[in-house]
Structure 1
Amino acid sequence: MNLSLELQKRRDRFNDPRVHLPPPPLHALRECLVKNLRIAVEQRDNRLHFRTLDGDPCTLEYADAYRVRRTLHGVEGIGVQQWLRLNLSLCRHYMRIDCQGPTPVIDGLISEEPSQEQTLKNLAVFFNLSNAAKYTAH
């Protein structure tokens, strides 16, 4: 018995190229955003970076769930009390507004769903609610 051939057979059995592992969640979502929705996405530091239609920068990262951050530009003059009132309604959707810095940031938590389509719907809800908060504050 040739030992190197036996080792090669065992290695091939565990490294079967026909076995397809699903991509990591962040990579899968990036592919969907780029290919299906045609959103320009840059991946850096295990985060996705992109902009909304009105130019707000966003980051998306994954750690047991998707964490989304959207920096709201053009609303820096809105008072803290206005943001705090809006924050109460966003909390029901696992979102919050951080208005401690010079520019408000909306954070959201989106659970990973069994289907990519449902995850995208939840991401759309985040952007719809953050848009509503941004334009309600004006």
Structure 2
Amino acid sequence: MSEYVDVAIREADEGDGEHVQCLLSTYFLDMDEVPIDDFIVAEANGKIVGVAALADRNCCEIHSIAVHPNYRGNGIGSRMVSSIFETVDKDRIYVRTSSPIFFRKLGFIELPMAEKAILWEDCRECDRFEGCKQHVMCIQLDERSESC
């Protein structure tokens, strides 16, 4: 599908929890104790076709992002990230991802793997850290601040 898809991006509510978890599981992701209130959803024709979460624990992080396979390539993921940018009041946003190309296109820069252990406790404690396939990336939102 490459034509434009009309989607509405909104905050998730309690009734969306099962749909959010189902879409995340398509990519072997889960909510990891992120409350449903931290999620946004992209809705097309009454169906949730995309989800994303912004978690602000140790750092401001795009925690999860997923677009239904039938709707990928329509800019839905980019629109959700742009929506997150509009709501955040931090200087920078981080992400741990296995899709660095997607985030590079949005202006994120890759950071050294060692940054993961500094930013996230679960990475420090992970016995698979050395072989981890997730990239750590950052985007600077406030031009006056130091870069990532």
Q: TM-score, with normalisation over the residues of structure 2?
A: 0.29
More contact order relative to length (CA 8 Å, sep ≥ 6): 2
Larger radius of gyration: 1
Choose between structure 1 and 2: higher strand proportion. Answer: 2
Choose between structure 1 and 2: higher helix proportion. Answer: 1
Q: TM-score, with normalisation over the residues of structure 1?
A: 0.31
